[in-house]
Every structure is written in structure tokens, then in C-alpha cells.
Structure 1
Amino acid sequence: MNHNTPLSPRPLHHLAEAHRRVLTAAQLREHGVSAAKSAERCRRGGPWQQILPGVFLLHPGPPTSEERLHAVLMYAARGPLPRPAPKVPAQPTAQDPHRPVYAEAMVTGLAALTLHGFTAAPALPSLERIDVLVERGRRLRSTGCARIVRTAGLPMADLVTGLPVAPVPRALADAVAGLSDAGTVRRLLTEAVRGGYCEPAAVVRELTRAKLLARPHVVDAVDLLLAEGRALAEDRLYRMVREYGLPDPVWNVDLRLPGGLHLGGLDAYWPEQAVAVELDTRASRQGEDAQGAEYARKREHLERLGITVVRLTPRKLRDALEQQAAVVRTALMAAADRDPAAYVVVLPR
């Protein structure tokens, strides 16, 4: 025997990790197991089974949820990943040398939402198929427990329990594409925002890209999603003023010129300093360009009158509340150095 002699199948028995009980044909060959030997072991009553084309389960019983996830990724992945992107920690590592690497494939849809921790998503064992996202043009077909979802460009994957998983907005869009139950769609979208997984605008962008906003039950769910997102943003704005010691503004007002011309609504306004805060909770939907243009016109008009407008997004309020409080405080302090603003009438909205 020399160093070129193929290994026997025996080394497979000491691989105790659950994901090592699922191997590809190429990995088996590295262990000295030929295609003929693999086929022999997968015969009726044999110790192995072929779970997907080119992917083998090294035990006779039903696969676990973890084994199904790894099998689907093994089926869809394109070879080894040479150097993972920064968001996905380098793998395998010295601490976990057997962790598999999956290139150009990630779990998406309902399975991804379950992995992200959504309570409204079904448990993994109840899913007949697991969605896996790959680049458009890959020569793959849906088969067995793997359902292929194609995209023009793969997003940056999140690493969840050691698996590449589509970010929540993309996973939501892929899940909603296969759902017809309005209640389920509504619960998933609401949890995405209420649970702090992502902002409504990111979800709407993905739903728009997937051309799902033509479906009435999706549109209804999106309207509720946007209302939920705005309520959360307003709560954060109230908390910002309270916790960071900002002077109390007047809340939710309309501004008008003395002659009656309507200038627009604001979420918070400090009349003495002529500083306004407006929450930008717009979501990018087809046909809403006019809304963005109207927003810009209103801001320009107010600023010509000497009113400073601070635009805050829900994401900024969620991720950097103290920083946004500092922005508002700076605008209030700078009021003393500005020319007095034009007189406006402040009315409750």
C-alpha cells in the first residue's frame, strides 16, 4: 500500500457529527467509496439511502430536519467556497473542521424564516420541501425535498446555525410567492416588523421585485405591515424625546400659512426653534414616485420658510436612537444662529 491507495469506506464510521451523515458522491469518492459501492449500499434494506441526486444519507432511517437542510444545500451548492464574504464567518474553522461549505446556494422561503426564529413559520419537519435559492441559469431542477428558487443575483447570506440562509426580506418574498392564505401572509409580514427582523420598506422592495403586489391578499397584508411599521417608528420617536431629554414638541400637527395655504403634516414640531421632524415611512412600491416627489416639494417649501426639517427613518430610530437624538438636539441648538422663520399656523392633525 502507498499514499495513492484509495481509502476504504471505514473512515466514514467515525464521523459522528449529524451533518457528516449526509455526504455527496464526490465526498464519498474521497473516502474511497465508488459509485458502484454507493449504489450497492442504497439497495432496499441497505444501510444507506440516496436522499437527492448525488447526495447520500448514511443511515437507513428517516432524515432529521438538519440532515434535510444539509442535503438540499449539498444538492444545490456549486463546489467549495474559496473565501467566504465578511458577513459569513470563514468556514470550516479550526474549531469546527468538519463544517461544510456551501457556495452559491442558501436556504430561503418558509424554512429560512423558521431558522431565523419566526413563530408564524411552520416547524421544519412539517415542510415537505425546502426552498433553496440559486443563481438564475444554474442547471438544477426541483426534486425530492429540494425546491429550486432562482434569482438574478444572490443576496448576502446570513449564517444561522451554521447554514447560509437568505436575509429575512428575501426569504419572506420567496415564502409569500407560494402562499395563498391571507392570514398566513399577514402573520408572517407582521412578525417581520414587530419582531424587529427588518423594516417594512425592505419587505416591500422584495415583494415588488418578485411582482407579488398584484395579488389582493398580499396588498392587504402590506397595508397592515406599513401601518404596523409606522406605529413602531412613532413609539421610538416618543421614546427618543423622553429618554434623551429633548424639549417636548407638539406632536402630529399640520402647518399652514396665515392665508390658509396647507404646508403639510409633521410628526413633531418645535415652534420656538422652527424645527420639524418627519418620519419617512414610505415604501418603494410601483406607482409611488409621485409620493416621493411630493415629500421633496414639501421639505423644500418648509426650508424656504426657515423651518429646519429633520428626516428620520424607522431603521435609523431602531438602530441608532441616541445618534438621531443628537441630530435633533443639534438642529434645536442651531436655531439661535438662524434668521427667524416665517410665521405659520400650527393645527392638530
Structure 2
Amino acid sequence: MNHNAPVPPAGPRPLHHLAAGRRRVLTIAQLRTYGVTTAELNEQCRAGGAWQQVLPGVVLLHPGPPTSEERLHAVLLYAARESGAPGVPVQPGAEGPHGTPAYREAMITGRAALTLHGFSSTPPLLSLETIDVLVPRLRRLRSTGCAHVIRTPALPTAQHVTGLPVAPVPRALADTVAELPDADAVRRLLTEAVRGGHCEPASVVRELNQAKLLSRSPVMDAVELLLAEGRAIAEGRLHRMVREHGLPDPVWNVDLRLPGGPHLGGLDAYWPEQAVAVEVDTRAPRQEEDDLWSEYARKREVLERLGITVVHITPKKLRDAMEQQATVVRTALMAAGDRDPAAYVVVLPR
């Protein structure tokens, strides 16, 4: 026997092996790599057959209704493409996180994405008639069946939820709100996003602004409540930071004035003996942001000229790096003894 003789190529896998595999949603191009001919595909997908074509070029390898996971994979297979081969989905073996397929230039967005992120105010996946999928603007792809195509000039960085590429919460919210005329539904979604700790108000408003949605009446009303909710949560975190990290108690929510002089501005927390102030930045990132930031900077400059140290904290830092922010405040308090005494100011409740 000649041990150097080439091993003959394996024949096509039997069709029932495909249907019994881990993945039961494949593209026609992928099926052909398994040796499935056009005649076999037509036979399997005929009325009453063992397979069904659920989207153009995408085949479900069983006759029953697709599961929610199969619908998501089908939509992604329809929308994804391989780099350098426009319109051609990724091939078998191109794996992403957790052994799932790597879908290029496509991600789930809208209500389906919010449900995957854990929102309770969005419908279950199986009750959605369509699933929103985000693709680059120049893709030649139309909405069809359960796939609703949304185009964007620049894809955000996807987050992987159960191994699927999913738009970040702020982008998924913007894509959902764009289709919602109901003010109550918009308000419920935005409120849950903040109360549930999914994201900060500023990131939501930024996405809504980029999507040109802030001028819509239902959105405007919801955003005002969102910002108020976000400020209340941020203030609660600031109180918790002081309590849990052993900082001395400040005076809360005060206005500063020069004796007999002008108003200097409001502060979220102030330590009069050390002349240290904390201000939580809950600005809405709108187009007039530069003007508002100038006002923040002006106030800080005036206070620091008077010898008051201002610590500027964002809600995101309070949420994600509370211990680090507590260290910043503690350091400012400890350094007070090394500074010249601050000017006398009047502290009033805000």
C-alpha cells in the first residue's frame, strides 16, 4: 500500500446531518459548500418539504416555525456580508464570540436589541413581526419578510449579547423611538434605560440628537423627564459615594454668593472648611452644548480664583468609577491645608 497516496475527498454530508447540526439556519451559499445542489435545495424547500426559505438566500433546516434565536440568526445572515465580497454572507467556519457566526457589517437594533439587553417594556422576541438590523448606508439591501433594514453612515461598535452582535442601548433606543408616535411608550423606554442602569441620559440624548429626533413633541417631553430622572439618580450616587467611602459630610445643594455681592453659582456638594466643591455634570449634549459648557467653565474659573477647589464629576464616572471619584474628592479635601485660605463666601440653600 502506498501511504503517500492522496486521501480521496469526503463526499457531501447527508442532508439529514445538516438538519441535525448545531446550526439550523444557513445561507444557500453555505449549503452549497456542504455539497447541496440546486435540485436538492428546491426539493427540500418545496411546499410540505423538510426545509423552508425564511428570507432571500436564507434557509431554515426544519419545517416548523423558527425560534426567536433562529429568526435573529436568519436576519443577520440575510444582512451580513464578508469583507471584500459585497452581498456574500460569511461562510461556515467564520466564528465570532462563544462559537457563534461572525456577522460582518450587521447588528440587531431597535426593539429586538432592547429586549436582548434586558428591557421589560419591549415585546418578547417572538411577538415582533419584524427585527431591525443595522447596516452601513451604502449597502444595497431592502427590507423583506421579518428583516427591517436600517442604514447608518457609521456603524457603532456592537455589543455581544448571547453571542449576537447587538447595537448599544443608546443607538437601539434611537432606532426604536424613530418608529414610535406614542409619547407614553417613548417615556417608558427612556425611563427604563436610566432607572435600569442601561445607560446615562447624556448618551441617549446624544443619539436622539444625531438622529434628529429631539424636535419631535413626544421625544421632547420624554427627554425633559429623562434628564430630571438622570439628575436624581446621579445625586443619589453622590450621596452614596460620600456615605460608603467615609468622606466627611458636606452641605448639599447650595448656592454661593460673595458677601453683598453677586451670585457665584449652585453646587451639588460643598465642604466650607476645606473650600472644596463638587458639581455633577448632567448637561444634555445638544447643539448648544458649547454655550452651556462655557457657563460651567466660567463658574469654575471664578470659584477657583476665590480659592475654592471644584471637582467636576459626570454621572457615568459616579456609576462606573465611584471609588476613584471618592479618592479624587478625598485628595482635594486633604490638600486644603496646603493652600492659601479661600475668600469668605455666603452659603445658601438652593
Same fold? TM cut 0.5: yes
Q: Which residue of 1 aligns with 2:201?
A: 200
Once the two structures are TM-superposed, the CA of residue 91 in structure 1 deviates from its matched residue by: 3.7
**Which among 58, 61, 65 is matched to residue 62 of structure 1?**
65
Deviations along 1:206-242, one digit per CA (max 9) or x if unpaired, are: 0001000010100111111111111011011111111
Secondary structure of the corresponding residue to residue 222 of structure 1: helix
Quickly say closer, same or farther: Cα 1:137–1:131, change in 2 above 3 A: same
Once the two structures are TM-superposed, the CA of residue 92 in structure 1 deviates from its matched residue by: 4.7
Deviations along 1:67-124, one digit per CA (max 9) or x if unpaired, are: 110000000011279xxxxxxxx9457xx65x22211110000000000000011111
8 Å CA contact 2:19–2:62 kept in 1: the answer is: no
Partner AA of 1:77 in structure 2: A
Secondary structure of the corresponding residue to residue 197 of structure 1: coil
Partner AA of 1:326 in structure 2: T
Q: Distance in 1 between matches of 2:69 and 2:240?
A: 41
Q: Distance in 2 between matches of 1:21 and 1:6?
A: 17
Q: Distance in 1 between matches of 2:330 and 2:13?
A: 70
Q: Distance in 1 between matches of 2:35 and 2:294?
A: 65
Deviates more, 1:58-67 or 1:212-221: 58-67
Q: What is the RMSD of the two structures over their aligned residues, measured on CA atoms?
A: 1.7
Once the two structures are TM-superposed, the CA of residue 44 in structure 1 deviates from its matched residue by: 1.4
Matches within 5 A, 1:283-302: 283-302=284-303
Structure 2 residue runs without a partner (length 5+): 1-6, 85-93
8 Å CA contact 2:19–2:61 kept in 1: the answer is: no
TM-score (normalizing by structure 2): 0.92
Deviations along 1:148-191, one digit per CA (max 9) or x if unpaired, are: 01111111111111111111111111111111111111111111
Q: Distance in 2 between matches of 1:287 and 1:72?
A: 39
Q: Which residue of 2 aligns with 1:185?
A: 186
Q: Which residue of 1 aligns with 2:112?
A: 111
Matches within 5 A, 1:105-144: 105-144=106-145
Q: Which residue of 2 aligns with 1:14?
A: 20
Once the two structures are TM-superposed, the CA of residue 11 in structure 1 deviates from its matched residue by: 3.0
Matches within 5 A, 1:35-50: 35-50=38-53
8 Å CA contact 2:96–2:163 kept in 1: the answer is: no
Q: Which residue of 2 aligns with 1:340?
A: 341
Q: Distance in 2 between matches of 1:80 and 1:165?
A: 19
Q: Distance in 2 between matches of 1:151 and 1:65?
A: 25
The reply to whether residue 243 of structure 1 matches residue 266 of structure 2 is no
Structure 1 residue runs without a partner (length 5+): 82-89
TM-score (normalizing by structure 1): 0.92
Q: Which residue of 2 aligns with 1:87?
A: none
Partner AA of 2:15 in structure 1: P
Deviations along 1:231-285, one digit per CA (max 9) or x if unpaired, are: 0110111111111111111110000111230100000111111110001111201
Q: Distance in 2 between matches of 1:36 and 1:278?
A: 70
Partner AA of 1:318 in structure 2: R
Q: Distance in 2 between matches of 1:10 and 1:231?
A: 58
Deviations along 1:104-145, one digit per CA (max 9) or x if unpaired, are: 110000000000000011111111000001111011110000
8 Å CA contact 1:11–1:31 kept in 2: the answer is: no
Where does structure 1 differ by over 4 angstroms across 4 or more consecutive aligned residues?
A: 4-8
Q: Which residue of 1 aligns with 2:89?
A: none
Name the count of aligned residue pairs: 335
Q: Distance in 2 between matches of 1:293 and 1:80?
A: 44
Q: Which residue of 2 aligns with 1:161?
A: 162
